[in-house]
Amino acid sequence: MKGLFIRLLFPVLIFGSNSLYAEESNEMKLERVVIVSRHGVRAPTKLPPLMQEITPYQWPKWDVPLGWLTPRGGELTSKLGAFQRFRLVEKGLLANQTCPSADQIAIIADTDQRTRKTGESFVAGFAPECQIQIRYQKDAAKKDPLFNPVRMGECSFNTLTVKKAILEKAGGSIEQYSQRFQSGFEALENVLNFSQSKLCKEAGNPERCTLQNVLHSDLKVTPYSVSLPGYWSLSSMLTEIFLLQEAQGMPLVGWGRISREKQWKELLSLHNAQFDLLQRTPEVARIRATPLLDLINNALATEGTTLKKYDLKLPVSLLFIVGHDTNLANISGALDLNWSLPGQPDNTPPGGELVFERWKRASDNTYWVRASFVYQTLKDMKDITLNNHPAKVDVEMRACEEKNMQGMCSLKSFSKHIEAVRIPECTLIDSASFLGN
């Protein structure tokens, strides 16, 4: 226990003894927290042969299998865990010197190695030397529908409605949407040295060769998927891979051809733009996010729910949910949440945490919800020796009907909004396989 106490003092020495956030009114008390986190830094999930045809350079090797959390990703996640423990101790939700009990913290993760190991790494920073179970569905060979009910066949898209909504958001067509991001495509082609690639040489006239000319992108919507194959999906994947290389601390990221902050913004604008279109369009986001929205609402609003699937009884002081960047995008699209992350070009970066807090106002015993986003800047991810505390931005809940002076949303309005945007056909949390007696 002495070792635990010493290690939990570490964030205090780094972050300082002053409060990191504006002081709450004395009548406001933090009662519960739900964090929806993307997994930490991972290796690319795939390396299709096309990647070698679009650049004359060789792609660097990773030291873990495709899609796995890297050891460095684990270290960065542990820093986030230490930060969250420090903050929750500071706010009086948890004690400093003891291991949290089962009614204080619970962790639910998707079945992938990167999500389960991210949960373990968070615990290593949040409560070192403590035994905290990482909960995930028993059949670990399958994806958990909590994180993607459409992919797992629990519900489906109305293809005509979804396609119409996406194209309207795109401005009428994918070609028109692409015109907004020409600087991003040019930046990517420059990093790839695309004109000297095998693909361009085979196409003829390499100097006039562009990703959009060689690889077409057409919107594809099926009952169970939405995609933009071609130059959009490739560009989104490649720019995210470059960011993962940087966060992994690799030398010569992008073969040494990315050196300025402006380049990072231009490159990641492509990844963010595809996510905005395919993951945040409400007709997509509401369907995919419904199970997680139900879980968040139950964790914040109910006084007793047993999730049989995870052998878990709610409420707990902290519920930490480890999923994917798509989950963060889906929730933000469904609830109309927006954020900008200074120092981080990726809107849903590795380890990024969407945080919902339940506060109680003593004067009238009412409950309020605050949202924020906690993340590490790209600089802090690249140089893991820096002892900067994670960054945090407040997230406005614009659709909330009732707010207090601090900008918090009443729990009643928060739950009402979730009820309004959720899609009943995608309900999981009320099913017999999910709930206990």
pLDDT at 324 (0 to 100): 98
Tell me if 126 sits within 8 A of 89, measured CB to CB: no
CA distances from 92 to 89, 95, 99, 320 (A): 5, 7, 15, 18
217 and 360 co-located in one domain:
no
| C-alpha span between 125 and 323 (Å, rounded) | 18
**Domain for residue 435, yes or no?**
no
Report how many domains make up the chain: 2
126 and 195 co-located in one domain:
no
179 and 88 co-located in one domain:
no
pLDDT at 315 (0 to 100): 95
Q: How many CA atoms lie within 13 A of 156 on its CB side?
A: 8
Amino acid at 144: D
**Domain for residue 181, yes or no?**
yes
pLDDT at 430 (0 to 100): 62
**Domain for residue 260, yes or no?**
yes
Told to judge if 276 belongs to the known catalytic residues of this protein, a careful annotator would answer: no
108 and 6 co-located in one domain:
yes
392 and 310 co-located in one domain:
yes
pLDDT at 333 (0 to 100): 98
253 and 332 co-located in one domain:
no
Tell me if 45 sits within 8 A of 62, measured CB to CB: no
**Domain for residue 434, yes or no?**
no
Q: What are residue 1's DSSP bridge partners?
A: none
pLDDT at 80 (0 to 100): 98
**Domain for residue 436, yes or no?**
no
212 and 296 co-located in one domain:
no
pLDDT at 434 (0 to 100): 54
Told to judge if 311 belongs to the known catalytic residues of this protein, a careful annotator would answer: no
pLDDT at 19 (0 to 100): 40
95 and 147 co-located in one domain:
yes
163 and 151 co-located in one domain:
no
273 and 339 co-located in one domain:
no
**Domain for residue 239, yes or no?**
yes
Secondary structure E strands in 160-279 = 220-222, 225-227
Nearest to 39 by CA among 351, 349, 347: 351
Q: Which residues of 271-300 are buried (b: 16+ CB within 10 A; e: fewer)?
A: bbbbbbbbbbbbbbbbbbbbbbbbbbbbbb
292 and 272 co-located in one domain:
no
Dihedral angle, C-alpha 373, 27, 33, 31, nearest 10 °: 180
| C-alpha span between 147 and 312 (Å, rounded) | 17
Tell me if 314 sits within 8 A of 102, measured CB to CB: no
Q: Which range of residues forms the domain containing residue 7?
A: 2-155+282-426
Show which of 244, 278, 312 is a domain's final residue: 278
Show which of 244, 260, 278 is a domain's final residue: 278
CA distances from 179 to 89, 186, 273, 347, 395 (A): 48, 11, 12, 21, 29
For the chain, 437 residues long, give each residue's pLDDT as a single digit of tens.
Answer: 434 433 444 444 444 434 443 445 568 999 999 999 999 999 999 999 999 999 999 999 999 999 999 999 999 999 999 999 999 999 999 988 789 998 899 999 999 999 999 999 999 999 999 999 999 998 888 899 999 999 899 999 999 999 999 999 999 999 999 999 999 999 999 999 999 999 999 988 777 899 999 999 999 999 999 999 999 999 999 999 999 999 999 999 999 999 899 999 999 999 999 999 999 999 999 999 999 999 999 999 998 888 999 999 999 999 999 999 999 999 999 999 999 999 999 999 999 999 999 999 999 999 999 999 999 999 999 999 888 899 999 999 999 999 999 999 999 999 999 999 999 999 997 644 455 43
**Domain for residue 59, yes or no?**
yes
* Selected catalytic residue, list 39, 271, 324, 389: 39
Show which of 278, 293, 312 is a domain's final residue: 278
332 and 384 co-located in one domain:
yes
State the pairing for strand pair 353-361/391-394: unpaired
Q: What is the CATH classification number for the domain harbouring 201?
A: 3.40.50.1240
**Domain for residue 137, yes or no?**
yes
* Selected catalytic residue, list 112, 144, 294, 325: 325
